DNA sequence: GCATGTGAATTCATTCACAGCT
DNA sequence: AGCTGTGAATGAATTCACATGC
């Protein structure tokens, strides 16, 4: 069981890697592995064995010396740590390109993130059906979000509208936001905010291409 | 001009923040700012002034003591550093939910990433028109990608198909890949690879919610 | 006076290396 | 013998603090 005692301050990168381990374990289970060593797991994900062990050690002792980690069990531990061993109700605000892609995105549902509500402010979209969910008017967030016990809001509106929408969902009681708009949202510090900006990773690639290898020069 | 001399080893986080500065500057320009101090810029993006200055100092001296940085000029410098002061030809492989959202995603084009080719292996999709681009057969990558001078491939196929597609685009000469499939792709080390996994950020949020505040405990 | 640019100091993350268990 | 779990050592990123220049 994921002992939370002695939990000090888990870095974002560790949390990020937990997600990676989880996916690796999913694959390993399918391939029929019963146990996996930190060495193997690290190799698969281009990390170091020490890193894998250290990351896991923050949460407990899940392995067996001389043997490795039990695949199935470790998966469950990580699911519990990440909070994906349960369902979370999600509201999506903004049914543009990105929004509608997310509605159909299977990875979300698979990990227990269930889109329960969809909002937009465009009268032509309100009332339309997306994968069985009727699009609601953003004006109704304040009543619908608490009613549907929403924990997470995913914001996929244009940058210019994002802060207002953000304020709205927080007002409605949401404390976790995933923001796809390319702006820096201001939130009170008891609200968790993560940003996803697909252009940024492309920019990283163009940086790499532009600077090819060197990078050391003098 | 972004002097690349003395360029040592730029960390991923610095590159990431350059993208953030760039967006902030875009907004500042719109708001009519001529100059901006590291202090102001940091405040807007929830960073420290020293961080802003250090990041920029890796690439040159763009500011004026006592004054700050010239907004427009700094924007251009960063655009040059990131390689987004030019156009890059992009190929998209896989026209599922995510793929088709990206075709219409304006941020990409705005930053100079132009989708020139779209591939799929589904006969029903091949030949169809997405925003003016006819979907090609993945089997034709080897000829079409060099023909169209593609620099970056965006992979939006299911995880099970991703490695094969990845091998294919590299074979065709692509040296930069943005991968949306939830798998760890293996690439030679002269190929740049970035991963985008939208579920991971949601998992981070669920981690935060599950662990609410404490995080320190003893 | 004000804000940059940058070595030095500090904090944070990763890796080493080994004791301890199976 | 093999592999975990973890303090200690190293390395990297961030922040401090101040000399420098407008």
Domain ranges of chain B: 12-82, 88-201
Chain B contact set for A203 (CB, 8 A): 15, 18-19, 22, 82-84, 111
pLDDT at B197: 94
Topology agreement, domain A12-82 and domain A88-201 = no
Tell me the per-residue pLDDT of A42-91, one tens digit each, with 9 for 90 and over: 999 999 999 999 999 999 999 999 999 999 999 999 999 999 999 999 99
Q: Is the pLDDT of residue A3 over 80?
A: no
Give the mean model confidence (pLDDT) for residues A83-104.
96
- pLDDT for A4 equals 43
The tokens for B192 are 């740049």
In this complex, is the C-beta atom of B18 within 8 Å of any C-beta atom belonging to chain A?
A: yes
Chain A contact for B46, CB < 8 A?
yes
| Residue pLDDT, tens place only, B24-72 | 999 999 999 999 999 999 999 999 999 999 999 999 999 999 999 999 9
Note the pLDDT of residue A71.
98
DSSP secondary structure string for all residues of B72-119: HHHHHHHHHHHT-SS-EEEEEE--SHHHHHHHH-HHHHHTTEEEEEEE
Q: Are β-strands B113-120 and B133-137 bridged in parallel, bridged antiparallel, or unpaired?
A: parallel
- Is residue A14 predicted with pLDDT exceeding 80? yes
pLDDT score, position B19: 98
Query: For residue A205, what is the nearest residue in chain B, using CA coordinates?
Result: B176
Does residue A1 have a pLDDT over 80? no
- A31 at interface of B, judged by CB pairs closer than 8 A: no
Between residues 183 and 202 of chain A, which touch chain B (CB distance below 8 Å)? 183-184, 190, 192, 194-202
The closest of A209, A144, A44, A216 to B194, measured between CA atoms, is A209
pLDDT at position A212 is 77
pLDDT score, position B8 = 63
- Is B108's CB within 8 Å of A27's CB? no
In this structure, whether the domain defined by B12-82 belongs to CATH 2.60.40.10 is answered with no
Domain A88-201 in CATH 3.40.190.10: no
What is the model's pLDDT at position A211?
87
Q: What is the mean pLDDT of residues A138-142?
A: 97
Q: How confident is the model at residue A9 (pLDDT cuts 50, 70, 90)?
A: confident
What is the structure's pLDDT at B211? Answer: 87
- CA–CA separation, A6 and B39 (whole Å): 37
pLDDT attached to residue A218: 32
pLDDT score recorded for residue A7: 53
Spell out, as residue ranges, where chain B has pLDDT lower than 50: 1-6, 214-218
- φ, ψ at A177 (rounded to 5°): -130, 130
Residue A203 has pLDDT above 80, yes or no: yes
User: % helix / strand / coil in chain B, to the nearest 5?
Assistant: 45, 20, 40
**Count of CB atoms situated within 10 Å of the CB of A136:** 20
């Amino acid at each position: 069981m994921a002992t939370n005692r002695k939990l000090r301050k888990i870095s974002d990168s560790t949390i990020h890697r937990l997600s990676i381990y989880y996916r690796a374990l999913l694959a390993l289970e399918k391939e029929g592995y019963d146990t996996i060593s930190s060495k193997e797991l690290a190799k698969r994900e281009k990390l170091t064995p020490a890193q894998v062990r250290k990351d896991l050690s923050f949460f407990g002792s899940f392995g067996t010396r001389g043997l490795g980690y039990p695949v199935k069990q470790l998966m469950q531990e990580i699911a519990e740590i990440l909070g994906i061993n349960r369902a979370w109700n999600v509201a999506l605000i903004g049914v543009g390109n990105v929004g509608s892609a997310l509605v159909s995105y299977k990875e979300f549902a698979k990990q227990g993130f269930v889109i329960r509500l969809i909002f937009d402010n465009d009268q032509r979209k309100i009332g339309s059906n997306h994968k069985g969910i009727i699009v609601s008017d953003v004006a109704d967030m304040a009543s619908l979000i608490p009613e549907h016990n929403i924990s997470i809001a995913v914001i996929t509106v244009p940058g210019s509208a994002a802060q207002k929408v953000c304020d709205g969902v927080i007002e409605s009681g949401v404390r976790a936001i995933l923001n796809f708009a390319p702006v820096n949202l201001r939130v009170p510090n008891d609200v968790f905010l993560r940003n996803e900006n697909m252009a940024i990773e492309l920019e990283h690639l163009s940086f790499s291409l532009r600077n090819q290898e060197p990078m050391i020069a003098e």
